[in-house]
A and B are shown apart, each in its own frame.
Chain A
Amino acid sequence: MLFTSYSFIGFILLLVPVYYLIPRNRQWWLLLFASCLFYCTFDPSYLIYVCLTALTVWGCAMMIRMDQKTQDDYLKERKEEISKEVQKAYKAQHKKIREMWMILGVLINLGILVLVKYYSFFFGHGIKGLGAPLGISFYTLQALGYLIDVKRGTVDAERNPLKMMLFISFFPQVIQGPISRFKDLSETLFSEHEFEWKNISFGFQRVLWGFFKKLIIADRIAPVVNTIVSDVSKYRGAYITAVLVLYSLELYADFTGGIDVTIGISQMLGVRVTENFDMPYFSTSLKEYWRRWHITMSQWFREFVFYPVSTSKPIQGISKFIRKRLGNKGKKIPVYLSSFIVWLLTGLWHGASWTFIVWGLLNWFILMVSEELEPVAAKFHEKYAWSNTKWYKVFTWLRTLLLIFVLNLFDCYRTVGETFSALWSILATANAKVLFNGEILKLGMSGLDYFVILAGAGILFAVSYLQTKKGSVREFIAAKPYPVRFAIWFVLFITVLLVGAYGIGYDASQFIYNRF
């Protein structure tokens, strides 16, 4: 049941009224039922994986909680009787027990992930009968984040396993995120919600905006991109230049459109889901881009990989060793090492292939080089006043966009060799004429389609620009007189209905991030 399918729209049209009609303390039950139903529409057997993750994480978290309670009760009772050293030893002993439960939960769930998603990559062949359930990369990270948070004591363990199941399987976000933190999502996910017209209308508007991105832009571009990347020996040079721009636009419209639908539907149900994007293509550096693109994933890796790794004993040991040998010069090496691991895992998380690993490591390399060159850049800006002008900022923006476009190309090809071959052909193949002699119109998009894409991209840009100036666009429109706001949303609805690339003649494209 894809977000843009009739069945999903029907599902929501049925769910929302029932959600507000049933007793409020049963609302989360309905969400759990709806989430299981939604997940089953892809393949009922997938639900077993989600249940397994929910149960193991819930069980381990409960063991951690119980152990914490045992420790606290024991120390409270005997606070006066035992010495501080004994207390410390007792705490250390229990900390290890809790760590053990956490590691057990992490290992089980990473084990499942590796078995279903990475086994064939590591061992050259898959396990018969095991397929990767949709969204496993997303919900596994979300579940592990919760378990680590419980271990750290930043959230209290959820006692109800069914609520844990809902946290992991909440249908609007289960297959493509965002990767929510328990403390953020649970607050509204399990609470009781009164019907609020604003939630319904704002949620619907957000869904409509997501459909605009997905159906008018992303799904219209997909056939051209798929055709070009299907044969690297045939489509080279200018075709690849076209794909650089088209695929990045498709990816943006597809992923942010999907998240818009997720957030919109959640809002209709009164559930607040974390934002995952902050106008990422307006970034003027790769570092900034990763603060604004797929925010929840970056935060997860920073919080649960980078910090633990960089403060781990081996890295601290390396840090000490380097400081002894190189002094201040090598102070960033441990950070770079930790980042290396983060980006290696980020690449692997995106997919079990070398293209994603190379993509991750290229990101790491560029970020580290930028970090190293920061003092030089600072001096440069100090020395040349023109480098602080608006035009220079435009230059850095375009430079960053180009970099992002090139990195995004690694999503497209099956092998690293094909990707580099395609990139090299941009410089080596002089065939710019195919962009103007009608050849490009034979790949699945007509001239009118290109016009629609251009207009759609213009609207995306204008809306993002408005957002930077006025804040929430929906609030901005809501402040207008009723006929104006009705006209705006109705025109958007009609535009999606008429111009959207759906139905017979169009491929119902899966959301790109559903694959991860």
Chain B
Amino acid sequence: MNQKLKNLIRILASVLIVITVLFLLQKILVPKYVTGIVEGAFVAEYYKEENKDFDVVFVGDCEVYENFSTATLWEEYGINSYIRGSAEQYIWQSYYLLKDCMRYHKPKVAVFNIQSMQFNESQSEAYNRMSIEGMKWSFAKIGAIRASMTAEEHFLDYVFPILRYHSRWSELSGDDFRYMFNSPNVSFNGYFMRVDTRPVDYIPDPVQLPDYRFGEKAWKYLDEIRKLCKKNDVRLIFVKAPSLYPTWYDEYENQVEEYAEMYGIPYYNFLELTEEVGLDYSTDTYDAGLHLNINGAEKMSHYFGNILSEQFGIDDRRGDPQLDAAWAKEIGAYEAEIDRQCVLYGVDKDTLYRYNRPAETEETETEEGS
């Protein structure tokens, strides 16, 4: 073997070793979000869906992924939906996640929870990571990173997550090795389930803010979401989930109402519709009014599913063999998770709304928002 060939083999072998080791290290070091803080896994789970032709896509923070049950929407109305939610998802991230969805399929309706309008800048690198990291590489992801980065962050850390998570070697657990290449779903088409209950016993007093006006960046991305939906012929709906706190100020409400009216966007503030939905804060929340549990989420989905079907003409797709099969599998997993959590939290399964709802629910009068 001549020296040149020997050198070439040496270089190739070295490069291969370097790339392989770095790849494996990165796989081990990035957080898996399967146990503990699972919210970081939601965004990536979307890509595992074989058929992404969802008719309804929700975008927003915990107020969407914990308050709407996609399984109930399917079971009751045959609505094929997905929640692209993540913890403290900022509006620019919602915009890019919606844009990312458009790469695969154009939904009929996009539902945006307007809670995140209160933020004009990303507040935390950890939340940025949970919203963006799971996205597949695209211009949408690049845009999301650039719009979200805090001063301490670097774009390169998103390209090579090993640079961000390099120091996790001291806190690795069995999960990091078990789920290196594949991890189980922790959401149900984006819905994050909790079966336990912690009734509302106290609502913190609203804090006086120096300025209640939404920021320039928040408005800019609200416009972008609106334009994106218009361009792609997607009906945009604004919602405000019925979380009792953080406080949703009247000043916030007025600004959203004004905007929605100006552009003819339907807006549902569920804080004002709790009676119609039938929410009971002594049984329907698992953290004293911040997020809904499965009872609350299913009631919300029952109510909102009706609106989607009746007022926005979302088709009942039950009977589509492919979707029936996919949802049967999903609902099987959904039931299994209910069983698991009932044992974990010591909840009597028979007390859940799911197993006690009236056989035939009367259609609730709904009114389209402003």
Residues of A within 8 A of B (CB): 6, 448, 482, 486, 490, 494, 497-505
Contacts and interface: CB of A to CB of B under 8 A. Distances in A.
Given A6-B154, A504-B153, A498 B10 contact: no
Contacts of B125: 504
Contacts of A500: 166
B183 interface: no
Contact of A503 (B14, B18, B25, B157): B157
B163 A494 contact: no
B164 A504 contact: yes
B357 to A, nearest CB: 46
Given A6-B156, A486-B17, A503-B163, 4 more contacts: A490-B18, A498-B169, A503-B166, A504-B157
A327 B153 CA distance: 69
A388 to B, nearest CB: 47
10 contacts: A6-B156, A448-B170, A482-B10, A486-B17, A490-B17, A498-B166, A501-B167, A503-B163, A504-B157, A504-B164
Contact of A498 (B17, B164, B167): B167
A497 B162 CA distance: 8
Contacts of A448: 170
A482 B125 CA distance: 42
A494 B153 contact: no
Contacts of B154: 6, 503
B152 interface: yes
A482 B6 CA distance: 11
A276 to B, nearest CB: 29
B21 interface: yes
A499 B167 CA distance: 6
A504 B153 CA distance: 7
Interface in B145-194: 152-154, 156-157, 162-164, 166-167, 169-170
A482 B17 CA distance: 14
A499 B170 CA distance: 9
Contacts of B169: 498-499
Contact of B167 (A482, A486, A494, A503): A503
Contacts of B14: 486
B157 A494 contact: no
Interface string B118-157: 0000000100000000000000000000000000111011
Given A486-B14, A490-B18, A497 B166 contact: yes
B162 to A, nearest CB: 7
Interface in B94-127: 125
B246 to A, nearest CB: 25
B250 to A, nearest CB: 37
Contacts of A504: 125, 152-153, 157, 164
Interface in B1-21: 10, 14, 17-18, 21
A215 to B, nearest CB: 10
Contacts of A494: 21, 25
